[in-house]
Amino acid sequence: MKSNDNIAYAASIVPSERQLAWQDLEFYAFIHFGMNTFTNVEWGTGNEDPELFNPTALDARQWAKLIKLSGMRAMILTCKHHDGFCLWPSAYTDHSVKYSPWKEGKGDVVKECADACREYGLKFGVYLSPWDRHDPRYGDSEAYNRFYKNQLTELLTNYGDVFCVWLDGACGEGKNGKKQEYDWEGYYALIRKLQPDACICVTGPDVRWVGNEAGICRSSEWSVVPYWHSQHAVIEAKSQNNVTKPPRKFSPQDVDLGSRKAIKGCNNLIWYPAEVNTSLRKGWFYHESEDYSLKSLSKLTEIYYNSVGANGSFLLNLSPNKEGKICDRDVEAMLSLGAQLEIDFNENLAEDSVVTDNRHLDEAHCGQMALSGDPEEYWHSGDNPDGSELVLDLGDDYDIDKIVLAEHIRTGQQIEKFSVYLMLEGKWKKVSEGTVIGHKRICRFKEQRVQFIKVVIEQARCFATISKFEAY
């Protein structure tokens, strides 16, 4: 394949409807809660007595309300973590809430969460650990696969709409451990059948795990990458295999996944956008000893800007305690983050502005369309994108320290290099530059008083689009 053909091919890859819907969620919560909350560990052995699970004041509505107030749009619950203990009364195991003293075995945490999400207008997603250290069928591949599919079926039929099934690649069995041959394709087919709108995340075809658990993102987070990044063995190899060593960095060969260089010669490219996951606390589950380990507000906002603001999504974990509540200091941290984001994006000063361009495909795709507010209306460069410019006229001087740009990703990811200029004392001054725009790019710079802002598309694949141009 000639390299130019390859670029046109990359430019032709588009997201599915379910990926588009997922991308719009941008910021959402993980909830790690389960047996580990009561045994004070990160990975249980699977031998824990269900008697130990007994939250005294479980309040899924408190979790959902906090998620909402923090500016997040969904919750993903660890319905079963590696220890195999199920937060719903599964008919296929005796290792669940049904055999615990909580609500005399009549409780169902999954139901309480799904209901609370509906009440607060959040989407609900499920985490069902493929690795199961409790179930005796684990390692007896066919029997376990049947069991796992039965559990998926329960979760995907009894709790309403599910926006995501999060399949963890982690496994700590080691050399002499049990070897389970997962029926990934069978799991995927079942998920598609039962919840066709749900994204299959991490060990799955729809959403790519960024590759570490520390909130570190690439500066260029491409959505179109070679297909092998979605292969189970590749994901498994990068995932956690030791409880004390969560993955915290990228390997050098993992820094660039989608540039022209990275996709050169690859004739199987996929739309596979990144999700950045990390925890508010040091660990995923609640441990009193980590009450002082919370990420600072500046760290959290930095991760937000580098993920949501750099063509990814941000999955931030919360850890309810033994009572079944998110404790005060965590609540405070999340409310501060929510308030900060409200302040940062309080008023889009570009709303009633004028945008001019130096080229466009046709009148229906002129620069002004970038301000329409309708994600399906957008500026389109035509087929000569390099060097195209959009100039935003705010109508008056305003103090600005960031702009938000978006491509119309339904027509693919096209832009490869762009710069942002401000008109200061009669001259254009470059204040930001980057590669990927994709679903959203937030460009931050030192606050300046300006009327005119210019975006130059220096390089794009087949054409360029901008469907959002905001200033704050």
Instruction: Tell me the residue nearest to ligand FUL as measured from the CB.
Output: 170
Indicate the helix (H) or strand (E) that contains 143. helix 141-157
CA atoms within 13 A on the CB side of 371: 21
170 binds ligand FUL (CB under 6 A): yes
Nearer of residues 23 and 277 to ligand FUL, judged by Cβ: 277
Pair 283, 294: CB distance under 8 Å: no
Residue 92 gets which letter from DSSP? Answer: T
In 50-92, alpha helices (H): 60-69
Per-residue binder mask for ligand FUL (CB under 6 A), 318-357, x = binder: ----------------------------------------
The radius of gyration computed from the CA coordinates of the chain, to the nearest angstrom, equals 23
> Would you list the DSSP string of 309-323?
TBTEEEEEEE---TT
Least CB distance to ligand FUL at residue 275 (A): 11
Least CB distance to ligand FUL at residue 28 (A): 13
Nearer of residues 201 and 370 to ligand FUL, judged by Cβ: 201
Least CB distance to ligand FUL at residue 170 (A): 3
Nearer of residues 284 and 469 to ligand FUL, judged by Cβ: 284
Nearer of residues 274 and 406 to ligand FUL, judged by Cβ: 274
Q: Helix %, strand %, coil % for the chain, to 5?
A: 30, 25, 45
Nearer of residues 168 and 357 to ligand FUL, judged by Cβ: 168
Work out whether strand 388-406 and strand 274-279 pair parallel, antiparallel, or are unpaired: unpaired
Q: What tokens appear for 289 in the block?
A: 């000893």
User: Residue 440: which residues within 8 A CB-CB, separation 6 or more?
Assistant: 26, 308, 309, 310, 311, 404, 405, 406, 468
Nearer of residues 127 and 418 to ligand FUL, judged by Cβ: 127
Angle at 342 between CA 415 and CA 274, to 5 degrees: 35
Least CB distance to ligand FUL at residue 113 (A): 16
Work out whether strand 388-406 and strand 379-380 pair parallel, antiparallel, or are unpaired: unpaired
Least CB distance to ligand FUL at residue 169 (A): 6
Residue 161 gets which letter from DSSP? Answer: -
Per-residue binder mask for ligand FUL (CB under 6 A), 272-311, x = binder: -----x------x---------------------------
Contact residue for ligand FUL among 239, 319, 321, 388 (CB under 6 A)? 239
In 264-400, alpha helices (H): 297-307, 328-344
Name the one residue in this structure whose structure tokens are 């949501």.
308
Nearer of residues 182 and 284 to ligand FUL, judged by Cβ: 284
Least CB distance to ligand FUL at residue 215 (A): 12
| Residues found in the chain | 472
Least CB distance to ligand FUL at residue 410 (A): 30
Least CB distance to ligand FUL at residue 282 (A): 12
Least CB distance to ligand FUL at residue 126 (A): 13
Residues 105-164 close enough to bind ligand FUL by CB under 6 A: none
Residues 37-66 close enough to bind ligand FUL by CB under 6 A: 42
Indicate the helix (H) or strand (E) that contains 379. strand 379-380
Nearer of residues 169 and 273 to ligand FUL, judged by Cβ: 169
Contact residue for ligand FUL among 132, 135, 154, 168 (CB under 6 A)? 168
240 binds ligand FUL (CB under 6 A): yes
User: Residue 252: which residues within 8 A CB-CB, separation 6 or more?
Assistant: none
Residues near ligand FUL (CB under 6 A): 42, 168, 170, 239-240, 277, 284
